[in-house]
């Protein structure tokens, strides 16, 4: 299956989903005008990844510096996909943020609270 790679813009993060390594990286800012439209290719790709031949271990690295409310909602939906697959696949989500980024930290805590059985790590980057 083909990898998915989307270059960053002022309002959107870089997205690199590698089907061969099972490492997904989303890095940057996320406040597009139409969040769900922007992320639709990514959501579809991930669904396809799991229904084709996923790697034994799938690792998701999310480093979102700034995000709007609909991006928060989108990330919940995104994690729902992994939540549905977690019994059959090894999945690890790393929610990465700078120590002083209080918003990102709070969002990470919300995800953990919501997805009790999903492996979500809060990874604090030192300034």
Question: Of the listed pieces 3-11, 20-28, 40-48, 100-108, which binds other proteins according to CB under 8 A?
Answer: 100-108
Whether the CA torsion 87, 51, 31, 15 is positive or negative: it is positive
- Asked if 89 and 58 count as a contact pair (C-beta separation under 8 A), the reply is yes
User: How big is the site for other proteins, counted in residues (CB under 8 A)?
Assistant: 10
Nearest CB to other proteins, comparing residues 47 and 110: 110
Residue 58, Cβ neighbours under 10 Å: how many? 23
- Residue 41 Cβ, how far from other proteins at the closest point, in Å? 23
Whether the CA torsion 29, 31, 117, 124 is positive or negative: it is positive
Based on the shown chain and the rule CB under 8 A, indicate whether residue 100 belongs to the binding site for other proteins.
no
Based on the shown chain and the rule CB under 8 A, indicate whether residue 114 belongs to the binding site for other proteins.
yes
Report the residue from 48, 55, 72, 94 that binds other proteins according to the rule CB under 8 A. 72
Based on the shown chain and the rule CB under 8 A, indicate whether residue 15 belongs to the binding site for other proteins.
no
Who's near 17: CB < 8 A, 6+ residues apart? 3, 4, 5, 24, 25, 42, 45, 46, 49
Q: Which residues bind other proteins (CB under 8 A)?
A: 68-69, 72-73, 76, 103, 106-107, 110, 114
């Amino acid at each position: 299956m083909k990898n998915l790679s989307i270059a960053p813009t002022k309002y959107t993060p870089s997205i690199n989903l590698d089907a061969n390594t099972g490492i997904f990286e989303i890095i940057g800012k996320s406040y597009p005008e139409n969040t769900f439209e922007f992320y639709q290719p990514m959501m579809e790709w991930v669904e396809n990844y799991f229904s084709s031949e996923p790697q034994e271990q799938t690792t998701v690295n999310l480093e979102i510096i700034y995000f709007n409310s609909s991006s928060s909602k989108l990330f919940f939906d995104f994690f729902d996909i992994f939540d549905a697959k977690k019994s059959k696949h090894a999945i690890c989500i790393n929610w990465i943020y700078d120590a002083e980024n209080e918003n990102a930290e709070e969002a990470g805590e919300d995800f953990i609270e919501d997805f009790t059985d999903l492996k979500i790590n809060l990874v604090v980057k030192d300034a």
